[in-house]
Structure 1
């Protein structure tokens, strides 16, 4: 009888602690997740900060946080965190105890391994009592989104064809500024007249700012990226590393052009996570527009939407007030691409070609000529006549 009474007493204690600690385990619990950056660059290191608050007088014996995160985010391993990785997603879980009236902050270090746009929709919180009698669970909506831009190439990684074309472009720009073309703001210099001061920007930054003017002849550049890694590619990219390198080159070119105060745009023949909004961005100025271009590049998918020469034909059908500059980033050349380039040049547009071939060489060295080379060849033919 004594043993039976003891067992009944133990059972009552287990049930009681379950009712006291287990059933209300998730009540008056607050959870928040923030990233140090929601827009970053491939290879960059950021932090994910979790804040958990227990506002009740009872502790939570055990609390499990679990969420599905993109595999592009590489977490630094810790003793209280387990990560099960897959090809696309990873299961990120952590288990710990939360005392009464306590707020804890947990910081996770992350390396952004692959560019892309990744939704982070929810997390699951599960708590319970000492013996697991009750284990209530709750889904927490986060509605966050990580945008990882392509990696920027260093000077030593850029192809000679890009540097040559950029030099030709710089020569055509006039040194004289156009006071009627405002492209942004910059810091005040001693030679600037007082009527150029931007008072609102000066008040916002705490330092004198003036209107930044464009150039009298300011070329507009449209960057066209070819998702096709070879002439025989059908739909899905087979050389992913090659096309990712081409995308990094396009991002580096866009950042360089915008940084020099020139308007730039971006278009490609691949699929996009952003839908039609990510297929083509017209030329414009400034860091805000550059951010939109880099986001379109982040959402770029390694699938062909239409042949590249058809994309160029669509560009030839567009109406512009004056000819623009096209920079073609491609891994291969074909007769159809050459014909499309010739069509653009016949309309007065200037066309430059850059990129890397499958063996890592500069495509310009493989027979694709930039606009400067074409003009030189044409001049030589006329001279011979």
Structure 2
């Protein structure tokens, strides 16, 4: 509890003590009645506040475990009252470290009912973030006591950099050296068969094409067409002028 919430019950307790001393010193029964009323108010308010956080079930379901900058991380929080008595007010404080995530909400829960909230937080920065933990906060109707309960369940969200189009960038053309009947050993095996050739010492037996052997009477092996290949290098520019200015010190190009 904060300092303000500590001073409230302490002030009422001091006031009840003064009423008791006044009743003993003056003999006026009104002060004694005030003492009993204040004492009963403190006990009932504390019991109300403590019981208000009992019989609650909290669930968190994350719909988006992987996303990218510019999209939204969505989750659903379920708060269920397992008791027949209503909960006048329950505050849910979320301690997620995802930038821009909703801090929480306040709810009224009737007996044996539940409330659901779906949040969609726009992702503005890449990285790994944690949704949760959360804290349940409640109190008595008079605002004297404020009690909390921790919910330790967490989930992780991985935010990738934004994918942008590069209109002036084209992939280099690849070489396709297949389709040649080579009388030498072929070292590359791909799903693409370009033809058959005579068996050469050192060829693998699992490459023998038995239909061609039956037709020609000679050992024939399959020749494979190599997949198109090209070399492409990606260089990360870490200079300051290569950084975006959308979020100072945090934007980047990838």
Q: How far 1:51 moved relative to its partner?
A: 0.3
- Alignment partners' CA distance in 2, 1:15 and 1:31: 29
Q: Is the contact made by 2:173 and 2:230 (CA closer than 8 Å) also made in structure 1?
A: no
Q: Is the contact made by 1:22 and 1:132 (CA closer than 8 Å) also made in structure 2?
A: no
Q: Is the contact made by 2:242 and 2:253 (CA closer than 8 Å) also made in structure 1?
A: no
Q: Could you list the runs of 4 or more consecutive aligned residues of structure 1 that deviate by over 4 angstroms after TM superposition?
A: 1-6, 173-177, 220-223, 242-245
Q: Which of 1 and 2 has greater Rg?
A: 2
Q: Which residue of 2 aligns with 1:68?
A: 95
Per chain length, whose mean CA-contact separation is higher, i.e. which structure has more relative contact order (CA < 8 Å, sep 6+)?
Answer: 2
Other structure's SS at 1:241 match: coil
Q: Which runs of 5+ in 2 are unaligned?
A: 1-27, 180-188, 194-223
Other structure's SS at 1:69 match: coil
Are 1:179 and 2:191 an aligned pair?
yes
Give the alignment's TM-score, normalised by structure 1: 0.41
Q: Which residue of 2 aligns with 1:153?
A: 164
Q: How far 1:153 moved relative to its partner?
A: 1.3
Q: Is the contact made by 1:45 and 1:111 (CA closer than 8 Å) also made in structure 2?
A: yes
CA deviations over 1:64-94 (Å, ceiling 9, x no partner) = 211233353x45xxxxxxx6xxxxxxxx132
Q: Which residue of 1 aligns with 2:143?
A: 132
CA deviations over 1:271-318 (Å, ceiling 9, x no partner) = xxxxxxxxxxxxxxxxxxxxxxxxxxxxxxxxxxxxxxxxxxxxxxxx
What are the within-5 Å matches in structure 2 for residues 336-351 of structure 1? Answer: none
Q: Which residue of 1 aligns with 2:134?
A: 123
Q: Is the contact made by 1:60 and 1:127 (CA closer than 8 Å) also made in structure 2?
A: no
Other structure's SS at 1:113 match: coil
Q: How far 1:147 moved relative to its partner?
A: 0.8
What are the within-5 Å matches in structure 2 for residues 307-318 of structure 1? Answer: none
- Alignment partners' CA distance in 1, 2:124 and 2:31: 60
- Alignment partners' CA distance in 1, 2:164 and 2:81: 46
Q: Is the contact made by 1:62 and 1:129 (CA closer than 8 Å) also made in structure 2?
A: no
Q: Give the count of matched residue pairs.
A: 184
What are the within-5 Å matches in structure 2 for residues 170-319 of structure 1? Answer: 172-173=175-176, 178-179=190-191, 216-219=226-229, 223-229=233-239, 237=240, 239-241=242-244, 246-247=253-254
Q: Which runs of 5+ in 1 are unaligned?
A: 76-82, 84-91, 182-213, 230-236, 248-385
Pairwise CA RMSD: 3.5
Structure with the higher strand share, 1 or 2: 1
Q: Which residue of 2 aligns with 1:285?
A: none
Q: How far 1:46 moved relative to its partner?
A: 4.0
Q: How far 1:140 moved relative to its partner?
A: 1.2
Q: How far 1:106 moved relative to its partner?
A: 1.3
Other structure's SS at 1:142 match: coil
